Amino acid sequence: MYCTRKVNEDITWVGGNDRRLAMFEGVYSIPDGVSYNSYLILDEKTILFDTVDKAVGKVFFENVAHVLNGRKLDYVVVQHMEPDHSATLMDLLCRYTDTKIVCTRKTSEMICQFFDQDVLDRAIIVKENDTLSTGKHEFQFIMAPMVHWPEVMFTYDKTDKVLFSADAFGTFNALNGALFADELDFYNTFVDEARRYYANIIGKYGPQVQAALKKVANFDVQIICPLHGPVHRKDFSAYIEKYQRWSTYEPEETGVMLAYASIYGNTENAAEILASRLRDIGIKVEMFDVSVVPMSEIVAACFRYSHLVFAATTYNAGVFITMEELIHDLVLHNIQNRTLAFIENGSWAPTSGKIMHDTLAPLKDMIVLNETVSLRSSLKEEQLSEIDALVNAIANTMVLPKNEDVPTGELDKTALFAISYGLFVLTAKEGERDNGCVINTVIQATSTPLRVTFTVNKSNLTHDMVLKTGIFNLSILTEQSKFDVYQRFGLKSGRDGDKYADYSAYARSANGLTYITEGVNALLSGKVINMLDCGTHTLFLADLTEARRLNGDASATYDFYRKYIKPAPNAEQQQKKGWLCTVCGYIYEGEVLPPDYICPVCKHGAEVFVPLASVTDEKKPLPEKKPEPEKKTELEKKPELEKKAEPEKKTEPEKKKGFVCGVCGYVLESDTLPPDFVCPVCKHTAEVFTPIE
């Protein structure tokens, strides 16, 4: 009996799920199964994207027949010839004898290698950027060699903005009735299997994945349809960001993957002690027994964490069997850009540490710590200092980043009073390149020392600059800021061009970075001391190295920006049927706004759009400023000074002497304010107090 699901009006999923297969490709355990995805589009002509593994062939053919409902199948696109996606291809061509095969030249050669029947007379060979129309839909073909076979291609549906991505963006696990990532709480329940799939299936080919991602970045992708795992139809920027990290071998998290091979428990004991002492100082550790845990899970963890520790006993003058297998597997998967450390054990000739070191050290951008711990049978009390030395070495390489010598300027703590839930330009510099972006998540963390936190979307170039250099500036925007600064720094990407081109309203602070000089009331400079991976964003904790008030203008809030700064649609635009993005002003023309729509300019979702008809084309007037008291000239004051008799003044009560807290209003009645005074109400210190006048 057929079992299908609609991707959208024209596209139907016709794949299947396999929960009986124990080892995917005979290597990778899949206790929760795997899906084999195939997609059928009904248009003036019908087109099928890939077939499936023979294990789900029965339901696949029932699905295809049900959706076609008597129509012929015009095309089958073969994006990837691996048998889990092509084993049923020849059977399909026998059932639908008029179907044309759309594929690359390399794919056509592989069809002849896998099958005996000659079907090349039915093949349509496509190359980079070739297109195929089926009526309403037009498809563009994107070559993606070695992601993860040489014949692979992606296909982009220009009409529905769908990317058919072959094995890219795939994952292990059966779909269990769901189809979409948002039905599965993907980032909590599926992302570990997505990482395991990438690391083990595609991980070796990072440069090729990077090349494919750069091509895809040129398309407006609204839906991703992979050949394994769920379809992505909502905010999938975090998933693309993970692919960016995985394919450039950047760790996802600062932490330790600790793998150990232990015969009688002594090597495991040393690994446990190391893990405990790392945890004592707040370092995240995940441990794996290589004799028990599937190798694919450990490889995935190596793609996740920044530091890799391997603890193994010496065995037959080499490395214990399961650890040796892991080490060689990591070399084959091209792991890079990690910090390595080793614990070795041997009752008479411990050599496993040197062998592991010599095998892994030649890999690209590896930092190898010298503090190898060498055991003779078991760890002794006097060797705990060696464990502590390794702990310190690991911790020292986790300082984020090395920026102790950043020049410091004036530290005016009142500059932080300008912080609100408002809008800020975050600027950074890498090499000779300046960049900046608009953020709205700056918070003062502490006043002693002066610290702030802020979060930045990982897709931003500025995020990557701050991540790598650890140095930044924040310009606090005011109600006098112009929409141009939001357009320049908030509505376009620095990856596409220089945001400072033809722009002069900036200067440089003590740390050498730019800050905005117009429509800004304060500058904060800082250096990152810690960070937290928040999924789509990174949260940075930073010490301030400079803080300056530039003027007394009021800080812009997000609400103020929407009401008074962002341009409203004009009368002509209002006559159109459509929806207005309240963040950037982009107009979507159409009577119905798709619930999963993403603004192509600012990347916010449908929730920030309002009907055009509900928006006035008259911008609200700016709030009126309170009139300042009229000042009299010296000539106007003179007659008053020359009066001989003044009316008798009533005696006013003597004003209290003291200091008022600028945070909570608490008053300290005193002639002097102790420099170490702490407000008993809000706990802020003396710098927030001002004299009562």
pLDDT digits (tens, 9 = 90+) for 122-181: 999 999 999 999 999 999 999 999 999 999 999 999 999 999 999 999 999 999 999 999
Question: For the segment 561-609, what is each residue's pLDDT rounded down to a tens digit?
Answer: 878 887 767 666 666 788 888 777 778 888 888 888 888 777 777 877 8
Could you please state the CATH topology (level 3) that the domain comprising 413-558 is classified under. Answer: Pnp Oxidase; Chain A (2.30.110)
Residue 66 pLDDT more than 70? yes
Q: What's the pLDDT at 633? A: 47
The token pair that represents 125 in the structure block: 């060979």
What's the mean per-residue pLDDT of the chain?
A: 89
Task: Identify which has the larger pLDDT, 618 or 546.
Answer: 546
Which residues are within 8 A (CB) of 507 and not within 5 positions of it... i.e. 6 or more apart?
514, 515, 517
The H or E element spanning position 688 is none
Residue from 619, 408, 622 nearest 526 by CA: 408
CA distance linking residue 373 with residue 647, whole number of Å = 92
Give the CATH H-level superfamily of domain 5-248. Ribonuclease Z/Hydroxyacylglutathione hydrolase-like (3.60.15.10)
Please state the rounded mean pLDDT for residues 663-683.
82
Domain 253-396 has CATH 3.40.350.10: no
With b for 16 or more beta-carbon neighbours within 10 A and e for fewer, the 167-200 pattern comes to bbbbbbbbbeebbbbbebebeeebbbbbbbbbbb
Q: What's the pLDDT at 649? A: 52
653 φ, ψ (degrees, to nearest 5): -60, 140
Q: How many CB atoms lie within 10 A of CB 128?
A: 11
Q: What's the pLDDT at 439? A: 92
Contact of 484 with 474, CB cutoff 8 Å? no
Contact of 376 with 263, CB cutoff 8 Å? no
Q: How many CB atoms lie within 10 A of CB 299?
A: 23
CA distance linking residue 269 with residue 384, whole number of Å = 12
Q: What's the pLDDT at 496? A: 86
Provide the H-helix boundaries in 256-383. Answer: 266-280, 295-304, 321-332, 352-360
| pLDDT-wise least confident of 69-78, 500-509, 615-624, 641-650 | 641-650
The token pair that represents 579 in the structure block: 């929806």
Residue from 194, 244, 250, 245 nearest 216 by CA: 244
CA distance linking residue 10 with residue 19, whole number of Å = 28
Q: What's the pLDDT at 454? A: 95
Question: For the segment 249-307, what is each residue's pLDDT rounded down to a tens digit?
Answer: 999 999 999 999 999 999 999 999 999 999 998 899 999 999 999 999 999 999 999 99
Question: For the segment 303-351, what is each residue's pLDDT rounded down to a tens digit?
Answer: 999 999 999 999 999 999 999 999 999 999 999 999 999 999 999 999 9
Q: What's the pLDDT at 558? A: 78
Residue 640 pLDDT more than 50? no
Residue appearing with tokens 């000239």: 633
Question: For the segment 540-561, what is each residue's pLDDT rounded down to a tens digit?
Answer: 999 999 999 999 999 998 778 8
The CATH number of 567-614, from 3.40.50.300, 3.20.10.10, 2.20.28.10, 1.10.1040.10, is: 2.20.28.10
CA distance linking residue 385 with residue 388, whole number of Å = 5
The token pair that represents 441 in the structure block: 């998540």
Contact of 233 with 226, CB cutoff 8 Å? no
Contact of 261 with 293, CB cutoff 8 Å? no
